[in-house]
Structure 1
Amino acid sequence: MPQKYQSFADFYPYYLSEHQDTVCRRLHFVGSSLIIFTIIYAMLTAQFALLWLIPVLGYGFAWVGHFFYEHNKPATFTYPFYSFLGDWVMFKDMLTGKIKF
């Protein structure tokens, strides 16, 4: 039975352990970047239908990384909220150089 995390601070080290493969992390980064660009583009051009792409971009790139490179089950299936937060914290940590990608 998976461990129940009581806080995001406890969960994040586990989240990082599920993202050890460089290609997996890069795919997460690409997906998150595309989400940001899609939101900005949709808002600037008033093409709000593009916002439907957000789950495809975010989960699509991440799940390819997990299934084909990391060979594990995405944390999203067990911890959806913490996993969502973890993705954005990992994105920030990659941007700032705290995590290599």
Structure 2
Amino acid sequence: MSRFASFREFYPFYLSEHGNRTSRRLHFVGSCGVLVLVAWTLVSGNPWWLLAALFCGYGFAWAGHFFFEKNRPATFRHPLYSFVGDWVMFKDILIGRIRF
């Protein structure tokens, strides 16, 4: 298992695991779904929507890995860095740093 001393060191590896454009799009759509479901949780007051947010985010991302990247999600080896990586990549797609 690779060890990373910092997120800065991990992020280039994370991006290399997301080279497939369809996979990145699935990650982005899943993250959008998470944001909507977290907002709905706050509006509705029903915390069960957080479970839906979890399934939405990881479901879309893992589909991208299993069907398009053909690799194992970094979440299994580096859960915290991978979680942060998802949101940094989401931001990088939003601002145009990474191609959608």
Structure 1 length-normalised TM: 0.95
Stretches of structure 2 lacking an aligned partner (at least 5 in a row): none
Equivalent residues in 2 for 1:21-100 (5 A)?
21-100=20-99
Q: Deviations over 1:49-99 (max 9, x none)?
A: 211112211110000000000000000000000000000000000000000
| Matches of 1:85 and 1:57, distance apart in 2 | 16
How many residues align? The count is 100
Stretches of structure 1 lacking an aligned partner (at least 5 in a row): none
Q: Deviations over 1:9-66 (max 9, x none)?
A: 0000000000000000000001100000111112112232211112211110000000
| Matches of 2:23 and 2:34, distance apart in 1 | 17
| Matches of 1:75 and 1:20, distance apart in 2 | 13
Residue of structure 1 equivalent to 2:3: 4
User: Identity, % of aligned pairs?
Assistant: 51
Deviates more, 1:63-72 or 1:35-44: 35-44
Alpha-carbon RMSD across the aligned residues, in angstroms, is 0.8
| Matches of 2:86 and 2:39, distance apart in 1 | 19
